[in-house]
Structure 1
Amino acid sequence: MTEVSDALVTHYSENGITTLTLNQPERRNSLSMAMLEALSEELERVADDPETRVVVLAARGNVFCAGHDLKEIRDQFDSHDFQLGLFNLCSKVMQQIVHLPKPVIARVAGVATAAGCQLVASCDLAVAADTARFATPGVNIGLFCSTPMVALSRNVSRKHAMEMLLTGELVSAPRAEQMGLVNRVVDEQVLDETVYKMARTIAEKSGHTLKIGKSAFYQQLEMPLAEAYEYTSTVMAENLQANDAQEGICAFLEKRKPEWKDS
C-alpha cells in the first residue's frame, strides 16, 4: 500500500511490516507542525491496523530529521500559544511511538539532531548507517533541548546524555551505539537489509505477545524493583491465559512451528 509521493509522511505495508517515511527532504524532514500532525495521524492509523506487526520509521534524503522547523518557530516568536502547542504535539507524537502496540524500528541514514534525535531515542529499536550522526545542539542557539532530553535520558546514561545536551556536539554512529542510543551500526549499503531482516524476525512473532511485552517493558521501567516484579508476575500469569502463549508452548514441546491467532 503506497501513499501519494507528495505526502509529508508516506505509508507502505508488506508482510506485516509498515514503513512510515518522513518525506520532506528539502526541509531536512524537520518536525514542523504539519509534519508532526501527519506523523501523528499515521501512527494512529497503524496502531489500529491488524495487519501491521512491526513499524519501520525512515526518512528520505541525507538528513533523517533536523528537529523542529526553526523558520516556522521564528515566524511565531510572538505566539506563546503556538510554541506551547508545537512542543505539546511533539511530546504527544513521541509518546504515541512509546505506547504504540507494535514495535517501532528507526532506520537512520544521515543526521538526526534535536527533536530528530529525540525521535530516534523514542523508537523501540534503532539501526543506523555508519555515516549517521546525532546531536542535541539546542544549547548552541540558546534553546536547550529540554523535550529531546526526556527521550535521550531514558536511553543513555546520565553523563552521556548531559554531554550531548551541554556540548551540542555531533556524535558519530559508532559512538551512539556505544552509548546505547542505537542498536546496530552497519554500512549504508546494507542498512535496509539489516533493518528489514530485524523487522521480519519480529513480525514472525505473535502480535498479541508483542503488544503485551512492549507495554510491560515501559510500565516496569518507571517502577521500584519490588513493584516491577509484582507487576510483571501478574502480566506473565495473564499472558499465559492467551491462546498464543498456550499454542507457542505446545508447539515448542511438540517441535513444530506455532500458528499464531493474535489472541
Structure 2
Amino acid sequence: MNARFTILGINRGLFCFTPSVALIRSVVVKRAFEMLLTGEFIDADTAVEWGLRNQSVQNEELDMAVETLTAAIISKSAAAIRYGKPMFYRQQVMRLEDAYSYAANVMSCNALEEDAIEGIAAFLDKHLINNH
C-alpha cells in the first residue's frame, strides 16, 4: 500500500481554495483544515479512517477489489442507479425539508420503472408468503 494523500498548495504559498470545497464534504472539518494548513501527507489507512477514502487494500489486491466493487454495482438496477446518482448529489446542497421532498419525488419516478415494480412485487410475495 503505497498511496499517500495531501493538499499540497500551502507548501507552495497557496491556500487550496477549490480543493477545500470537496475536502470539507468528505472529511471532518477539523481534519480538513489541518490538511489544508499543513500540507502534510497522510497514508492510505489514515485516509480511510478520516473518511477521505472508502477502503485501503494492498497493491496486489487492488485489481480484485476494483472487480468486486464493480461487480456489486453493475449487478444492481441501472434505472435505480440512473435515478439515484444525480439525486444523491443534488440533495446535498438543499435545505433538509427540500431534500426530503426532492428525494420522495425522485423515488416515486424510480418506483414506476420495471425493475422496481418487479423487485417490490418479489419482496411482497416473499414476505406475504412467509408471514402466513
| TM-score with structure 1 setting the length | 0.46
Unaligned runs of 5+ in 2: 127-132
Larger radius of gyration: 2
**Deviation for aligned residue 1:219:** 1.3
> In the aligned structure 2, how far is the partner of 1:213 from the partner of 1:206?
10
> Are 1:151 and 2:22 counterparts?
yes
> Are 1:236 and 2:107 counterparts?
yes
> Are 1:250 and 2:103 counterparts?
no
Partner AA of 1:190 in structure 2: E
Instruction: Say which structure, 1 or 2, has more relative contact order (CA 8 Å, 6+ apart).
Output: 2
> Percentage identity across aligned positions?
47
Aligned residues: 126
Match of 1:209 among 71, 75, 80: 80
User: Deviations along 1:119-171, whole A, 9 cap, x unmatched?
Assistant: xxxxxxxxxxx321000011111122112112111111111111111000001
Match of 2:58 among 180, 187, 209: 187
Structure 1: 4+ residue segments shifted above 4 A: none
Partner AA of 1:140 in structure 2: N
SS of the residue aligned with 1:139?
Answer: helix
Unaligned runs of 5+ in 1: 1-129, 256-263
> In the aligned structure 2, how far is the partner of 1:222 from the partner of 1:173?
28
More strand by share: 1
> In the aligned structure 2, how far is the partner of 1:206 from the partner of 1:195?
19
| TM-score with structure 2 setting the length | 0.88
> In the aligned structure 2, how far is the partner of 1:155 from the partner of 1:205?
25
Partner AA of 1:245 in structure 2: A
> In the aligned structure 1, how far is the partner of 2:17 from the partner of 2:67?
32
**Deviation for aligned residue 1:201:** 0.6
